């Protein structure tokens, strides 16, 4: 598969709920089964050249940069949401006019094949934005992928904003995207912090692109296991068990 793709890996978080006694590390450097969370992610992104994978760092960024010195990085300081994180990567991504994969340094179970299927779907459908989604019967606090009666993507609705009907939707937004670069930067420039947290949300970008007549769709090839992010000690332990089971 020929790639004209760069990636922005969001890796700026402190991981406050992961704080355990005696361990002072940014979230993405916490370890599961002897390897950092970010290490797992970058291994699965190894189909891209390291120079094309930008790490968006923030909290204790010196430690992250020292652990992965072969990757370019961008600094997000302060951290004002996922849209802001991508905006911070803009200069490091340069005048690139291809496709930009946006993913997370705290999702260590995501497989290369899933990233590739997302990129392939994006190319084959000629989309300006393609979201990765997962179908799960569990009640998980993820945004829902809303489609019209023809199965065409219309928008994302955040879990907290769901009506009872929307809550029943089983296709979930994973938060991983591929954007055509020009469409991404136009959308990023239009983001507004119209929310209680005063943050810039990347989830607003697909809706903007769609409203401007762009083509947006969701690619439901992610498994519920792959979409696990690590925000708590319990989630870290869960990921570690899954990794160890896969090594047996």
What are the residue numbers of the active site? 17
Residue 173's contacts (CB-CB under 8 Å, 6 or more residues apart) are 131, 133, 142, 143, 144, 145, 156, 203, 218
144 vs 161: CA distance, rounded Å:
10
The dihedral sign for the CA sequence 55, 61, 67, 73: positive
Q: Which long-range contacts (CB under 8 A, 24 or more apart) does 123-127 make?
A: 123/99, 125/215, 125/217, 126/215, 127/178, 127/180, 127/214, 127/215, 127/216, 127/217
Radius of gyration of the chain (CA): 17
SS (H, E, C) 79-104: CCCHHHHHHHCHHHHCCCCCEEEEEE
């Amino acid at each position: 598969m020929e790639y004209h793709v760069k990636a922005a890996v969001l890796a700026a978080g402190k991981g406050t709920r992961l704080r355990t006694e005696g361990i002072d590390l940014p979230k993405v450097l916490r370890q599961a089964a002897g390897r950092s969370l970010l290490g797992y992610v970058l291994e699965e992104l190894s189909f891209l050249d390291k120079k094309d994978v930008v790490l968006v760092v923030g909290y204790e960024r010196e430690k992250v940069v020292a652990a992965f010195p072969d990757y370019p990085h961008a600094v997000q300081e302060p951290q004002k949401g996922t849209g802001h994180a991508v905006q911070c990567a803009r200069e490091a991504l340069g005048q690139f006019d291809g496709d930009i994969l946006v993913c997370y340094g705290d999702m260590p179970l995501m497989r290369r094949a899933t990233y590739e299927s997302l990129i392939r779907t994006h190319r084959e459908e000629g989309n300006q934005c393609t979201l990765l989604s997962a179908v799960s019967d569990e009640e998980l606090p993820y945004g829902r992928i809303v489609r019209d009666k023809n199965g065409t993507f219309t928008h994302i609705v955040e879990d907290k904003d769901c009506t009872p009907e929307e809550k029943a939707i089983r296709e979930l937004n994973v938060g991983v995207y591929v954007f055509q670069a020009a469409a991404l930067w136009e959308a990023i420039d239009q983001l507004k912090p119209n929310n209680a947290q005063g943050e810039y949300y990347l989830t607003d970008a697909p809706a903007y692109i769609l409203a401007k007549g762009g083509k947006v769709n969701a690619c439901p090839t992610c498994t519920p296991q792959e979409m696990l992010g690590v925000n708590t000690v319990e989630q870290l332990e869960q990921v570690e068990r899954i990794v160890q089971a896969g090594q047996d």
